[in-house]
Amino acid sequence: MNKQILATAIITLVLGAGIGYLASSMKQPQTRQPAVMAKKPLYYRNPMNPEITSPVPAKDDMGMDYLPVYAESNAGKVSPGEVRIDPAVIQDIGVRTETARREELARDIRTVGRVTYDEERLVRLHPKYSGWVDKAYADKSGQQVKKGEPLLAIYSPQLVSSQQEYLLALGNAAGLKASPFADVRKGAASLVESTRQRLKLFDMPERLIRKLEKDREVMKDVSIDSPMTGIVTNIGVREGDRIGPETELYAIADLSTVWVLADLYENDMPWAKQGDSVSLKFADIPGRSFTGRIAYIYPYLEAKTRTVKVRIELDNPGQLLKPDMYADVDVQSDRQVDALTVPSEAVIRTGTRNMVFVQTAPGRFEPRDVVLGVSSNGRVQILKGLKEDETVVTSGQFLLDSESKIREAASRMSEQKTHEGMKMGGKK
């Protein structure tokens, strides 16, 4: 009996100790590892457009969550917008580079032109008196005429009276030729000369004046002769029409030389100058090339086409070149520029600035504003912002530009928060 009581006491003591231990352990706080504080984003950016940001979590129009942007924790000072990429993945994302180099730039300009009349060989005939057209000898547009060939026969009361005055002056001078008074003879000769000059001022042909002097008979119809050899481009009157000084009788063009007017765009103008050699080809004249020079560069810009016209003068034997024909124009500019150049695709043109990404170290790229000069054959001149032998990004720079803008924005946000914190600390 005593043994049973002793065993029961021992079991009770052990259970009590266990229960006490459990109770005390439950009252003691559990020891936990300190939690690592999560980074707090500076702001959140639109996943499709880095320019759109929000100070709090948000969603875009497509329901996509804005991405958190954190302050850079890299040690060392970095320039705003600098991008760092692991060199191992540069090739994977398509970033390619090339060294800026100094070279001679030259350029051939290719454009189109249009044949037109030589304005110095284009005349428009107007009479200097009133009258009527009795006969039209040149009555077809495009008709070939020669210099001195009659175009019209005109009846004009003014010309008739002027002929009569000239014949009277000739008769008076002949009658006074034997006068003993020198002043009388001189006056008669002066009258002859003045009346003859009046006929010339009326554009009466010299051959008709001599005929009048020989026949001493007034001509009812007086012809108007062609002042040049060429083609009739416009006829202003027909037989029976009344004419006056305001009437355009004919327009005549000499096509022995023609002009070609070519359009040069604004970026071509630094390369072109007066005197440059030009090669021209025409679809209507296959297999033949014409050579000329830039005779004149017009001093104004065409508002609609944003081009400047240049004039090329060409000889036209056989009148192969006809007005309004189109030409392929190749201007062989002899200008050369010693320039620091990069590939044109290396330049990011935003509309307000031009910039390139420069590799400053393996895996490190920084945006750099540049001033551009002339361009030629896929290369562009850098006037300011870049040095010879610096390395620029030629492919993948738009990805770098997007990342650079994000980092610039993060840097600005960090600076702003630091500034605000300093202000709050100052107030305390």
Model confidence band, residue 14 (pLDDT cutoffs 50, 70, 90): very low
The closest alpha carbon to 406, from 71, 32, 29, belongs to: 71
Q: Which CATH number does the domain housing residue 406 bear?
A: 2.40.420.20
Among the candidates 215, 233, 248, a domain finishes at 248
412 located within any domain: yes
- 199 & 303 share domain: no
426 pLDDT exceeds 80? Answer: no
Tell me: do 343 and 360 sit in the same domain. Answer: yes
What whole-number distance in Å separates Cα of residue 126 and Cα of residue 224? 10
Instruction: Look at residue 5 and tell me if it is in a domain.
Output: no
Residue 27 within a domain:
no
Q: Is the pLDDT score of 263 beyond 70?
A: yes
In the prediction, which pLDDT does 408 show?
62
Q: Can you give the pLDDT at residue 415?
A: 53
Range of the domain at 410: 67-103+338-420
Structural domain includes residue 32: no
For the chain, how big is the Rg over CA atoms in Å? Answer: 48
> For the whole prediction, is pTM greater than 0.85?
no
Structural domain total, the chain: 3
* Residue 261 domain flag: yes
Q: Tell me which DSSP letter residue 41 carries.
A: P
**What is residue 74's predicted lDDT score, i.e. its pLDDT?**
42
Stretch 343-362: mean pLDDT, rounded? Answer: 88
- Decide if 49 is inside a domain: no
More confident residue, 120 or 31: 120
Percent of the chain with pLDDT over 70: 79
Instruction: Give the separation between CA 74 and CA 178, rounded to whole angstroms.
Output: 122
Rounded to whole angstroms, the Cα distance separating 218 from 406 reads 97
Region 149-161: mean pLDDT is 95
Q: What is the pLDDT of residue 93?
A: 73
Q: Which residues pair with 169 in a beta bridge?
A: none
Average pLDDT along the chain: 83
Q: Say if residues 404 and 64 touch (Cβ distance below 8 Å).
A: no
- Banded pLDDT at 38 (limits 50, 70, 90): low
At 179, is the pLDDT very low, low, confident or very high (cuts 50, 70, 90)?
Answer: confident
pLDDT tens digits along 20-37: 544 444 444 444 444 445
19 pLDDT above the threshold of 60: no
Q: Is the pLDDT of residue 18 over 80?
A: no
Q: Is residue 288 part of a domain?
A: yes
What pLDDT score was predicted for residue 65?
84
